[in-house]
Amino acid sequence: MDVVDVIRAKRDGKALTTAQINWFIESYTAGSIADEQASALLMAIVWRGMESGELAEWTAAMLGSGVRLDLSSIEKPTSDKHSTGGVGDKVSLPLAPIVAALGLADPMLSGRGLGHTGGTLDKLGTIPGFEVDLTSEQMVKVLSEVGCVICSAGADLAPADRKLYALRDVTGTVESIPLIASSIMSKKIAEGTSSLVLDVKVGSGAFLPSLDSARELAETMVTLGEAHGVKTSAVLTDMDQPLGRTVGNALEVTESVALLDGKPPAPDLWAVTAALAAEMLHLSGVRGDPRAAVADGTARRKWDEMVRAQGGDPEAALSEAPERQDFLAPSGGIVGRIDALKVGIAAWRLGAGRSRKEDPVSPSAGVVLHKVAGDHVEEGEPILELHAEERSRFAAALEALEGAVDIGPEAPAPRTMIIETIRG
């Protein structure tokens, strides 16, 4: 088979055959197809798209490039959640111990942040001793003993995606629903979990800001999951404003633990966490009340067990930024909106994010929201508090926040966090 013929076929709008797809994925993963040729095919897919059957075969080939975890030894129903990423999206941290406390086993394979969206592994990495790089055997052991584990995906899970993802990142071929869907689902199906809930973000801080695009991605991923025997649903959630009251690695861990301790959480953070927990329970056929798991302390105990099982100290103090600066209200009134993308970029410039996957991140950098939509504010009152390791970072962060906060005379409409649920 000739890779140029495969590129031409997709360039001309034809659906790739199963043989072409399997050959390309196997050959590129093995290193026998050049990056520039793979880039050409990816760009053709961006422009021409993929038919549903073609996409299913592409995803199956990516899944088949590696192993699929065997979770048959786990006695509890297995279920996981995946988020398309956002600003202040710390839901994975409280969610995993909550559903574990309610009788599920959650093998949560997560990633690191890139750009303005935070990564779960970066957040957990601020906990002294916490180990995110586990072998498959270690992961299954923690899952069996605790009921939840949050770690990185091993190199043997969908290795084709690992190579293609890196290539897409540097060739302008990220924004393609077939490529996004196959990337996410090949890794998630490889986890071996019985059910999967997708948190698809919508709004300025989301990967796909428009509702129509987010819904198309959600429907595509649900179809792929169901086709591979994984009960799958998608919850479209609001990401037009930051989620919760903190953006940044250690800051978000602290807020998550406070939620598990039963301290009044930000209403938006709790709404999304509770909805996703309920959907995971629904798909697994398990009854349970997320609020009760927090109230009686079982969810917090599960968090402590998970942290210890992965080498961390749940009682250890987390890093705190030595430098702080307030972002002040330019006028008095009621906060109408705080733009998620602008806050995410500000946190990134403060050091909480990275431009390239190999870049380090600051554990303590980030943004604290003293005010959110609907709050009254006086002129000159702090709305946001910026945290950084060096004062030199504040100028660029403040520049990113220009126009980020709307203040007016009237309260905004109540924020709807759960937009829509799509089931297979």
| Candidates 183, 195, 284, 364; catalytic one | 183
Judge whether 393 counts as a catalytic residue. Answer: no
Judge whether 245 counts as a catalytic residue. Answer: no
What pLDDT does residue 46 have? 96
What pLDDT does residue 165 have? 85
What pLDDT does residue 114 have? 63
What pLDDT does residue 207 have? 85
Superfamily the domain 323-408 falls into: Pyrimidine nucleoside phosphorylase-like, C-terminal domain (3.90.1170.30)
Residues of the chain with CATH 1.20.970.10: 3-49
Secondary structure (3-state) at 268: helix
Residues of the chain with CATH 3.90.1170.30: 323-408
Contact 249, 123 (CB under 8 A): yes
Distance CA 97, CA 319 (A): 23
| Candidates 168, 215, 387, 393; catalytic one | 168
According to CATH, the topology of domain 3-49 is: 1.20.970
| Candidates 82, 116, 215, 245; catalytic one | 82
Q: CA dist 387 to 113, 117, 329, Å?
A: 18, 17, 18
Judge whether 82 counts as a catalytic residue. Answer: yes
What pLDDT does residue 155 have? 81
402: how many CB neighbours lie within 10 A of its CB? 9
Angle made by CA atoms 292, 296, 300, in degrees to the nearest 5: 100
Residues of the chain with pLDDT under 50: none
What pLDDT does residue 115 have? 64
Convert the pLDDT of each residue in 69-84 to its tens digit. 999 999 999 999 999 9
Judge whether 161 counts as a catalytic residue. Answer: yes
Convert the pLDDT of each residue in 168-198 to its tens digit. 878 888 889 999 999 999 999 999 999 999 9
Q: Return the closest-CA partner of residue 18 out of 37, 1, 35.
A: 1
Place of tokens 């996410």: 184
Pairing of strands 148-152, 106-110: parallel
Contact 272, 418 (CB under 8 A): yes
DSSP 8-state assignment for residue 244: S
What pLDDT does residue 153 have? 85
Q: Classify domain 79-315 by CATH number.
A: 3.40.1030.10
Judge whether 12 counts as a catalytic residue. Answer: no
Residues of the chain with CATH 3.40.1030.10: 79-315
Distance CA 273, CA 37 (A): 42
Secondary structure (3-state) at 190: helix
| Candidates 187, 188, 302, 387; catalytic one | 187
364: how many CB neighbours lie within 10 A of its CB? 21
| Candidates 122, 161, 199, 339; catalytic one | 161
